[in-house]
Structure 1
Amino acid sequence: MSVLSISDLKVDIHGSTVLHDIDLTLDPGQILGVVGESGSGKSMTALSVMQLLPRGSHWSGAINVAGNDLAAMDERALCQMRGRDVGMIFQEPMTALNPVRTIGDQVAETVRIHTGASRRGALVIAREMLNRVGLPEDRFPLDRFPHDLSGGQRQRVVIAQAIALRPKLLIADEPTTALDVTTQAQILDLLKQLVREEDMGLMLITHDLAVVAGLADSIAILREGAVVEAGPTGEVFRAMRHPYTRALFSASAHVPDRGRKPEPSATPVLSVKQVVRDYEQPRRNLFVRQPPFRAVDHVGFEISHGENVGLVGESGCGKSTLARAILALDPLQDGEIRLNGHAFSSAGEGPHPELRARMQVVFQDPYDSFNPRHRVRRLVTEPFHLVKSPPQGAELERRIDRALTEVGLKSSDADKYIHEFSGGQRQRIAIARALIIEPALIVLDEAVSALDVSIRAQILDLLAALSDRLDLSYLFISHDLSVVRAITDRVLVMKDGRIVEQGETETVFRNPQHPYTQKLVASTPSLQAALAARAS
């Protein structure tokens, strides 16, 4: 018997149809990959299965979960089903966990609610589940809090919650999007192992075709609230009957066309020399001071005019700390940073505002980096506070128009609010804000990691074109090695605060020398490799 059966599912929210004609089936011990871009209906399908739809929703059709007909169940019965028969893993573990409760109590809560077990008995099961997901007792006692754990470790706690009662169906909604490649590989291996050992069905929601190709037994591709293609994974990728499937496949393997290869310049745009960044640690007691934690340890590199350089490494390796030091947002303990040959910052000294204007940044989440109460016109002109004589009147309008048109938007977009744009358009506005002041270097911190594959391809094409046309240099920070490989000329690999390997991007990826780089490359999902493995 199937653990999940959906037929003719339709969902309306306040009269607007968001899902229609959804037909899906999942058997025990199988993995179903649900793929599509933002707004395609992936998460809404999962929420329909969990019966956690937003207010104003109405659904019709048939949903059967582990023998339960959801249409015939009241809220009390649904509450008993959730956690017992079906568990769910959410994308962002920190928001899924209660920050003021221990991990032991949070895993035990599921057991206590559904079984009526005592706290002591529930904690015994919680300990077993945490051991099961790779959080052993000697290193991860039950009294630890979520903030004590890394992103991958938090995700394991969320998985332990979801499987605490060994449900027949497990729904994983983008469970690895925010994780680095090695942690992602570990979480995916764990999910595959749980499916095999528990004979549960796994509904894996993702926009990453490489992950689905390597993991899922069957696949359903959603677009605009409907399934446009479905079937066994290998068969779907071989046939690719629907144009949208072919478009997703093409976007996943997209490499921007770089018009020229930048040459090393006599005066580099950015010169990082033996930079050190330390953090004070809390005292062990009144009389014992702990030595400072060294997050960046004597790092040095250069970026030439028009060159795109990637900085990769696992969470906690020091990438973002180094970026903050380069941007002079954090002080240095040693070393020097020079911009276009001029001293930008050094130990104890920050940059002059006009020199700071030559370096801009694009953040991972454009919505969080904008004030939603201001129009785009004001948002993109924020960097002008760094110059002595900001443009006024007609010149200001010309600069706004040029910045927006450079990134593929219209002049009229200047009068809109940020909530009126899609995620990809917001990232274009973030790039426009960085461009308007005509910087020499842009630091992009995970600037495309949250975007769908087709939007990501568009943004990468845009960045490549701007670099070639405007002679822009980029420092591209990302945990997604496939993106770094597509957009950069050179790559720096960071581990434990140090650069352990660097060189031309293709050379490093094809023939990594350091064991850590080899591990990163081996852990990166590859759509072509996954499909080749299925064909063999």
Structure 2
Amino acid sequence: MSALSISNLKVEIHGNTVLHDIDLRLEPGQILGVVGESGSGKSMTALSVMQLLPRGSRWSGSITVGGADLATMDEAALCRMRGRDVGMIFQEPMTALNPVKTIGDQVAETVRVHTGASRREAYAVARAMLDRVGLPEAQFPLDRYPHDLSGGQRQRVVIAQAIALRPKLLIADEPTTALDVTTQAQILELLKQLVREEGMGLMLITHDLAVVAGLADTIAILKDGAVVEAGATREIFREMRHPYTRALFSASAHVPDRGRKPEPSVTPVLSVAQVVRDYQQPRRNLFVRRPPFRAVDSVAFDIHHGENVGLVGESGCGKSTLARAILALDALQGGEIRLNGHVVSSAGEGPHPELRARMQVVFQDPYGSFNPRHRVRRLVTEPFHLLKVRPQGAELDRRVDRALSEVGLSSSDADKYIHEFSGGQRQRIAIARALIIEPALIVLDEAVSALDVSIRAQILDLLAELSDRLDLSYLFISHDLSVVRAITDRVLVMKDGRIVEQGETETIFRNPQHPYTRRLVAATPSLEAALARPEG
């Protein structure tokens, strides 16, 4: 009996067809990878299985879970199915968990709702499930709250919820996109172990071909709401009969063409000298002050003109804190930061506002970093508030038009709202906003991690071309080491607030010296390595 069988699934939303004759099959103890870009129908297929389609939807065809036909179930039966027969792991664990309820309450809730177990019995199951996903009682008692945990630990809680009743089918919708490489490797290994030991079927939804190649037994590739290719994972990637499959494969391994290799300059664009950033911790009590927590500890490095430097490390290593210090958003407790030889900030002194304007940032979320009520013209000119004399009239229009054209957009886009653009176009607008003030340095904080592989390839090409043509310098912060390897000239590896290794990117990846660097490189999913491993 199949864990999941989908036949001729068609979904319409207000008369518009979004899924076309989807056929999928998943056996117990196997992993099915569902791959495709945004809008391909991956999540809509999962919502069809959960019967959580948006208002105005109609579906037809056949969906069975463990032999049970969903078309014959009323809402009460579907409610019993969700959580008991089908579990779901969502992409963002913090939004999937209730911030005001303990982790014990949230895992136990699934048990109590579906089995009518007593509070004591439900808590016993919750404890066993949290232990099962690697959250032992000694470090993670049931009364901990989600905000007390790291991203990977929260995702383990979400997995514990999903498997609490040992469902026949587990749906994981981009479960590792927001996680660093070592945490991602741990979560993927945990999912693989659960499938093997519990005999459940796992439907893994992702846009990361390296992840699915190393994990899935079978794969289905979706485009525009239809399955364009499906079958055994090795066979699909070996033959790649459909042009879209070949395009995804090519984009996932894409390396931008750098026109030249930057030479070290006499005066670096950015010079970070023995920077220290401390945070005062809450008092233990009225009379005992805890020592400050050192998030950045004596960090020093330079970035030269036209150079792209990557900063990598696990969550909590100090990457974002260092970025805030460089952007003069946080005060320093030691050291100094210089831009083109001039002190931006130093211990005991605040930032220099005119120099701060010469550094800009591009954030991870290309939608959340904009005010949706403003037009693009106003959004891209926001950095001008850092200038003493702001461009006006025709000069302002000229600067807006030039910034948009630099990133491949037209001047007419200035009068549109941000919701009128795709994710890739929004990120281009974010880059235009950073460029408009003609900065010396741009900090890219996970700037492509939320993008599909083809859009990511386009944005990386754009960044490389702008760096070469405009002599721009980048500090590229990312947990995706494959992206860092593709775009950067040098890489800095950060652990516990310190730079533990730095050097030319290819040298670091081919011959890492520090044990921590070796662990990061080993944990990075590789499409070529996954396909080269012997089967079985």
With the length of structure 1 as denominator, give the TM-score of the two structures: 0.99
Q: Distance in 1 between matches of 2:506 and 2:44?
A: 39
TM superposition shift of 1:353: 2.2
Q: What is the identity, as a one-letter code, of the residue corresponding to 1:130?
A: L
Aligned ranges 1:67-466 → 2 under 5 Å: 67-466=67-466
TM superposition shift of 1:194: 0.2
Structure 1 pair 535/202, CA: closer, same or farther in 2 (3 Å)?
closer
Q: What is the identity, as a one-letter code, of the residue corresponding to 2:167?
A: P
Aligned to 2:532: 532
* 3-state SS, counterpart of residue 315 of structure 1: coil
**1:299-356 Cα distance to aligned partner (Å, 9 max, x none):** 0000000000000000000000000000011111111000000011011322332211
Q: Distance in 2 between matches of 1:523 and 1:233?
A: 21
Q: Distance in 2 between matches of 1:284 and 1:408?
A: 54
**1:250-278 Cα distance to aligned partner (Å, 9 max, x none):** 00000000000000000000000000000
Q: Distance in 1 between matches of 2:339 and 2:442?
A: 12
Q: Distance in 1 between matches of 2:306 and 2:535?
A: 41
Aligned to 1:51: 51
Q: Is the 8 A contact 1:492 1:501 kept in 2?
A: yes
Q: What is the identity, as a one-letter code, of the residue corresponding to 1:485?
A: R
Q: What is the identity, as a one-letter code, of the residue corresponding to 1:487?
A: I
Q: Distance in 2 between matches of 1:36 and 1:172?
A: 14
TM superposition shift of 1:534: 4.2
TM superposition shift of 1:405: 0.7
TM superposition shift of 1:488: 0.2
Q: How many residues align?
A: 536
Q: Distance in 1 between matches of 2:169 and 2:407?
A: 44
Give the 4+ runs in structure 1 shifted more than 6 A: none
Q: Distance in 1 between matches of 2:505 and 2:316?
A: 22
Q: What is the identity, as a one-letter code, of the residue corresponding to 2:35?
A: V
Aligned to 2:37: 37
TM superposition shift of 1:385: 1.1
* 3-state SS, counterpart of residue 60 of structure 2: strand
Q: Distance in 1 between matches of 2:350 and 2:357?
A: 13
**Any stretches of 5+ residues in structure 2 without a counterpart?**
none
Q: Distance in 2 between matches of 1:164 and 1:39?
A: 31
**1:63-118 Cα distance to aligned partner (Å, 9 max, x none):** 00111101110000000001111100000000000001100010000000011000
Q: Distance in 2 between matches of 1:402 and 1:300?
A: 35
Q: Distance in 2 between matches of 1:266 and 1:7?
A: 65
Q: Distance in 2 between matches of 1:349 and 1:367?
A: 34
Aligned to 1:520: 520
Aligned to 1:467: 467
Q: Distance in 2 between matches of 1:347 and 1:308?
A: 27
Q: What is the identity, as a one-letter code, of the residue corresponding to 1:530?
A: A
Q: What is the identity, as a one-letter code, of the residue corresponding to 1:368?
A: G
TM superposition shift of 1:357: 1.1
Q: What is the identity, as a one-letter code, of the residue corresponding to 2:455?
A: I
Q: Distance in 2 between matches of 1:534 and 1:4?
A: 28
Aligned to 2:508: 508
Q: What is the identity, as a one-letter code, of the residue corresponding to 1:248?
A: L
Q: Is the 8 A contact 1:234 1:534 kept in 2?
A: no
Q: Distance in 1 between matches of 2:286 and 2:397?
A: 59
Q: What is the identity, as a one-letter code, of the residue corresponding to 2:364?
A: Q
* 3-state SS, counterpart of residue 10 of structure 1: strand
Q: Distance in 1 between matches of 2:446 and 2:459?
A: 12
**Any stretches of 5+ residues in structure 1 without a counterpart?**
none
Q: Distance in 1 between matches of 2:114 and 2:282?
A: 41
* Alignment of 1:5 onto 2:41: no
TM superposition shift of 1:17: 1.0
Q: Distance in 2 between matches of 1:355 and 1:264?
A: 22
* 3-state SS, counterpart of residue 311 of structure 1: strand
Q: What is the identity, as a one-letter code, of the residue corresponding to 1:341?
A: G
Aligned to 2:14: 14
Q: What is the identity, as a one-letter code, of the residue corresponding to 1:291?
A: P
Q: What is the identity, as a one-letter code, of the residue corresponding to 2:483?
A: V
Q: What is the identity, as a one-letter code, of the residue corresponding to 2:394?
A: A
- Could you tell which deviates more after superposition, 12-21 or 30-39? 12-21
TM superposition shift of 1:535: 6.1
Q: Distance in 1 between matches of 2:16 and 2:329?
A: 45
Q: What is the identity, as a one-letter code, of the residue corresponding to 1:458?
A: Q
Q: Distance in 1 between matches of 2:345 and 2:420?
A: 38
Q: What is the identity, as a one-letter code, of the residue corresponding to 2:384?
A: F
Q: Distance in 2 between matches of 1:287 and 1:219?
A: 60
TM superposition shift of 1:226: 0.5
- Could you tell which deviates more after superposition, 386-395 or 273-282? 386-395
Q: Is the 8 A contact 1:125 1:164 kept in 2?
A: yes
Aligned to 1:492: 492
Q: What is the identity, as a one-letter code, of the residue corresponding to 2:464?
A: A
* 3-state SS, counterpart of residue 46 of structure 2: helix
Q: Distance in 1 between matches of 2:270 and 2:394?
A: 33
Q: Distance in 1 between matches of 2:410 and 2:68?
A: 51
* 3-state SS, counterpart of residue 325 of structure 1: helix
**1:159-212 Cα distance to aligned partner (Å, 9 max, x none):** 000000000100000000000000000000000000000110000000000000
Q: Distance in 2 between matches of 1:352 and 1:94?
A: 36
* 3-state SS, counterpart of residue 159 of structure 1: helix
Q: Distance in 1 between matches of 2:72 and 2:350?
A: 66
* 3-state SS, counterpart of residue 32 of structure 2: strand
Q: Distance in 2 between matches of 1:131 and 1:344?
A: 48
Q: Distance in 1 between matches of 2:108 and 2:389?
A: 61
